Structure 1
Amino acid sequence: MMRSLYSGVSGLRVHQTKMDVIGNNIANVNTIGFKSSKVNFSDIFYQTTQSATGPNGETGAAGQNAMQIGLGSTVASIKASITQHGGAQRTDDPYDIMISGDSFFIVNSGGTNYFTKAGAFDIDGAGTLCTPSGAKVMGWQVDPKDEKRILAGTVSELNIMSPENQYSKPEATTAARIFGNIDSQDPQVASTGSGKNVTVEFFDSLGHTYKANYNIKQSSATDTNKYTVTLTDITDDKGKSIFATYNETTKKYEAKTGVSATFGTGSGTVAVDPDTGKVTLTGATSSLEFNGVTGKFESVGGTAGNKTVTLKATTSPDPFKNVVIDFSTITMFSESGSSSLESAKGDLNNLGAGKKVGNMNGISIDTSGKIYGKYDNGDSRLLGQIAVASFANPAGLEAIGDNMFAQTLNSGEFDGIGHDVSRGGGKFTTGVLEMSNVDLSQEFTDMITTQRGFQANSRIITTSDSLLEELVNLKR
């Protein structure tokens, strides 16, 4: 009877433990990345009252099985369902990421690497990708020798919003084009007219915007197929000429020293009106020729078949690059006496357009975990890559709270480097979170059977107590 009492007590204990696990599962039914656990029981110990004997051929006695009395149950294991995925919840937050596959995010807290399935990330005050509990998301950095390549080495924190990542470097314009149509009957482009003005915008190597102003008109009244392209001025983004400066001492405008411009083979000569500051640039010219029969472009710069002319502005210091201007798409067709000319940065393949300084206006993360900064100058820059870790026995990881796991002797070791999530077919999905994998229907079913098991074991104790009571009453 005493054995049944202790067996009942052990049964109560293990069922209470199972109920504790079920309660924790249900409490975390809406915890992102949570992995449910289940409890397995085992019998614990047996008292052998008679050992087994084999058949005896000499006496003819048959064999007998052992007689054993069990002494209760114990918890054999509490196993987390690590590899079972939870449902996907759409959030549309670019920093929310779900892993498809068996790998884990690597996060660092207090100098120690931990692992998680919860991809609800954010940016801290230092611009580092982190978890809500303050652990830093780990990954790989950009190769300093090649900004378009990731250097897969020992994982480190992803400081994607660092000051140096807030801006995208500018690039000087090296190519531009003037396109449209010149009508030879347009009085504006006649040799006696004012000429057709065209503005070519370009960037210097610091990202500042400038405009080169051109005037196009016929070279002579007798040959309407040939035109002269004249550089008249270069102005900054405020509309001020780079060739003129105001002298505070004399209160007059004057030509700025060390500034010059060359267009084609002609180097411009600058004259500045001292009172108005108006710039007159002469000598920076090039010829433009069309086919008088077809109206198609033939050459620019006086060389047959030549399509481009180079603009070079020089200052001290000199942030300008040579800008090769393409005229090959200009035509000379009739348009009822009017001409239409435009310009664009970049060549016909849109190369060499340059760009201004870019301010970050967005972040994107692709399916392989590569993080790109988006800038308002149209640039896209690689900032790093989220690395992941995999384990031979993920169920051997130890849950430490805050949706994090730690490696153990039975989980396998993290090598400090990790791997690309796409290895083995995994991927990242942004704007989505992996929810808890708790199955409420299963948990409620387990709760019922656990309650009945607890109830049955309590009956063992009360029944054994009744037997003891009857035994004590025998003395009366």
Structure 2
Amino acid sequence: MMRSMYSGISGLRVHQTKMDVIGNNIANVNTAGFKAGRVTFSEVFNQTLQGASGANEATGRGGTNPMQVGLGVNIASIDTLMTEGAAQRTDNPLDLKVEGEGFFVVDDGSGYKFTRAGAFRIDSSGNIVSPEGQKLMGWGVNNNTGEIEKGVVESLSILSPANLYSEPEKTTNVYLEGNIDRNDTQLDPLNGGVPFTISFYDSLGYRYTAELKLTSTAGDTDFAITVGAVKDSKGETKAVGTDSVTVSFNPATGKVNLTGDTQLNITGLNGATDFSEMAEPLTVDLSQLTLFSGKTSIQSVRGDTSGFGAGREAGTMSGFSIGPDGKIQGRYTNGENKLLGQVVIAQFRNPAGLQKVGNNLFQVTTNSGDFDGIGMDPTATGGALNAGVLEMSNVDLSREFTEMITTQRGFQANSRIITSSDEMLQELVNLKR
């Protein structure tokens, strides 16, 4: 009877522990990135009353099974279920969800921690941090190449002073596109020629407009382009050009004759004492012009045909986005996109071996595997990051309520063992009366 009573006590203890785990799961049903726990039981040990025996041909008796009395139950494990939770759309660009395996790497000042909860924000120093202030870690950008520099993870500070603005860039290339009608009477120098303009930026990001004219020469296939005044954004003349070029067309194809002059270099601007564009010539590509029938129409496009050398004014950050590969792209008012860093993830051989330390954080243990301090690209193993989405808890309420019912019944049944054993002991004591 005493054995059964102590077995009942062990049953009460383990079922109470299981109810604690279930209660914690249900309490965290709406906790982002929460991983549910699961309790498994095992018997403690058994008292052997009689061992097993084999068949005896001499006596003609068959074998017997062992007789054992169990002495209670114990907790075999409390596992953390690392299954992926459902996605919850938030449209907040700093809310991130890991698709697949892996954990965000954060630093709380005492070392690296790991989390699946991707609810991040910006602090006063421009760092991406968790709600509790742990810094999100990732890879930085090489200042010389502008590309991601893989190495030991560092805090991601996307609103650092260097990232708040985009530096201006001088225009070095311009190309002309359009058509020239050789019968256009305005092309006659006596009629003033056909005017058009070229806009460009100097090295400080100031915008200028060069006024040019297109005029016909003695032949039907040669045309002169002459640089006139160069004005700033306020319309004030800053320089007077002296450059000109004659562009020749193939009479059979109507395209620029590539054996002749196909570009105009705007240099030697008179009176350009405060005009920083003078540092290098501005190359104007003429090869895209045509001599087809139709109206004369000339316009300029900054940059070459691939966009290189277009130049830009200075810009300030207007927003940012995080891609599936974790790369953070800053958007600026001057149209530039700049790479600001990359969010990385950590993967472990046995993620269930990680230890919970509160605030949705895990830390490594001897059974989880180590973090190498570098991390990996979120897409390296077929996963991705999903911005504007949070990972919900993986708690299954239907399962938890079912477990709650069976746990409650188990607790009640074990309590009956104790009360029944107590009544049997009472009857034994009453034999003396």
* Both proteins in one fold, TM over 0.5: yes
Question: Do 2:247 and 2:260's aligned partners in 1 also have CA atoms closer than 8 Å?
Answer: no
- Report the CA distance between 1:310 and its aligned residue: 0.5
Question: Do 2:246 and 2:261's aligned partners in 1 also have CA atoms closer than 8 Å?
Answer: no
1:296 alignment partner in structure 2: 254
1:260 alignment partner in structure 2: none
- Report the CA distance between 1:180 and its aligned residue: 3.0
2:282 alignment partner in structure 1: 323
2:325 alignment partner in structure 1: 368
Q: Tell me if 1:355 matches 2:348.
A: no
Q: Write out per-residue CA displacement over residues 51-97 of structure 1, whole angstroms, 9 at most, x where no aligned residue.
A: 55667788887765544332221212100111x11112222222222
Residue 133 of structure 1 aligns to a residue in which SS? coil
Question: Do 2:228 and 2:242's aligned partners in 1 also have CA atoms closer than 8 Å?
Answer: no
Q: 1:210 to 1:458 in 2, by over 3 A?
A: same
Question: Do 1:189 and 1:218's aligned partners in 2 also have CA atoms closer than 8 Å?
Answer: yes
Mapped partners of 1:2, 1:283: distance in 2:
113
Mapped partners of 1:187, 1:421: distance in 2:
63
Q: How does 1:239-250 map to 2 (within 5 A)?
A: 239-243=235-239
Question: Do 2:52 and 2:64's aligned partners in 1 also have CA atoms closer than 8 Å?
Answer: yes
Structure 1: unaligned runs, 5 residues or longer: 244-280
Residue 371 of structure 2 aligns to a residue in which SS? coil
Deviation larger for 62-71 or 396-405: 62-71
Letter in 1 for 2:28: N
Aligned with residue 235 of structure 1, among 231, 251, 270: 231
Aligned with residue 379 of structure 1, among 336, 340, 345: 336
Residue 453 of structure 1 aligns to a residue in which SS? helix
Mapped partners of 2:133, 2:235: distance in 1:
50
- Report the CA distance between 1:109 and its aligned residue: 0.9
Mapped partners of 2:143, 2:2: distance in 1:
74
Mapped partners of 1:328, 1:62: distance in 2:
106
Mapped partners of 1:282, 1:307: distance in 2:
19
Question: Do 1:368 and 1:427's aligned partners in 2 also have CA atoms closer than 8 Å?
Answer: yes
Mapped partners of 2:275, 2:210: distance in 1:
19
- Report the CA distance between 1:230 and its aligned residue: 2.6
Question: Do 2:230 and 2:241's aligned partners in 1 also have CA atoms closer than 8 Å?
Answer: no
Letter in 2 for 1:129: I
Letter in 1 for 2:409: R
Question: Do 1:213 and 1:231's aligned partners in 2 also have CA atoms closer than 8 Å?
Answer: yes
Q: Tell me if 1:311 matches 2:266.
A: yes
Residue 93 of structure 1 aligns to a residue in which SS? coil
- Report the CA distance between 1:187 and its aligned residue: 4.7
Letter in 1 for 2:232: D
- Report the CA distance between 1:47 and its aligned residue: 3.5
Mapped partners of 2:143, 2:182: distance in 1:
55
- Report the CA distance between 1:179 and its aligned residue: 3.3
Letter in 2 for 1:210: Y
Question: Do 2:355 and 2:364's aligned partners in 1 also have CA atoms closer than 8 Å?
Answer: yes
Letter in 2 for 1:201: S
1:90 alignment partner in structure 2: 89
1:44 alignment partner in structure 2: 44
Question: Do 1:193 and 1:217's aligned partners in 2 also have CA atoms closer than 8 Å?
Answer: no
RMSD: 2.8
Q: 1:285 to 1:144 in 2, by over 3 A?
A: closer
Mapped partners of 1:318, 1:135: distance in 2:
46
Mapped partners of 2:23, 2:184: distance in 1:
88
Q: Write out per-residue CA displacement over residues 152-205 of structure 1, whole angstroms, 9 at most, x where no aligned residue.
A: 211111112211112223321111123334445545432222332211001112
1:147 alignment partner in structure 2: 146
1:125 alignment partner in structure 2: 124
Question: Do 1:178 and 1:342's aligned partners in 2 also have CA atoms closer than 8 Å?
Answer: yes
Mapped partners of 2:305, 2:344: distance in 1:
40
Q: Tell me if 1:464 matches 2:392.
A: no
Percentage of matched positions with identical amino acids: 49
Mapped partners of 1:227, 1:317: distance in 2:
29
- Report the CA distance between 1:409 and its aligned residue: 1.6
Highest Rg: 1 or 2? 1
Mapped partners of 2:347, 2:44: distance in 1:
35
Mapped partners of 1:144, 1:334: distance in 2:
51
- Report the CA distance between 1:315 and its aligned residue: 4.5
Question: Do 2:106 and 2:136's aligned partners in 1 also have CA atoms closer than 8 Å?
Answer: yes
Question: Do 2:256 and 2:290's aligned partners in 1 also have CA atoms closer than 8 Å?
Answer: no
Question: Do 2:212 and 2:227's aligned partners in 1 also have CA atoms closer than 8 Å?
Answer: yes
Mapped partners of 2:235, 2:386: distance in 1:
48
Mapped partners of 2:182, 2:45: distance in 1:
109
Residue 192 of structure 1 aligns to a residue in which SS? helix
2:113 alignment partner in structure 1: 114
Deviation larger for 13-22 or 137-146: 137-146
- TM-score with structure 1 setting the length: 0.82
Letter in 2 for 1:424: T
2:363 alignment partner in structure 1: 406
Q: 1:229 to 1:420 in 2, by over 3 A?
A: closer
Mapped partners of 1:125, 1:177: distance in 2:
44
Question: Do 2:31 and 2:392's aligned partners in 1 also have CA atoms closer than 8 Å?
Answer: yes
Residue 11 of structure 1 aligns to a residue in which SS? helix
- Report the CA distance between 1:352 and its aligned residue: 2.3
Q: 1:345 to 1:6 in 2, by over 3 A?
A: same
Residue 229 of structure 1 aligns to a residue in which SS? strand
- Report the CA distance between 1:223 and its aligned residue: 5.6
- Report the CA distance between 1:286 and its aligned residue: 3.2
1:138 alignment partner in structure 2: 137
Residue 191 of structure 2 aligns to a residue in which SS? coil
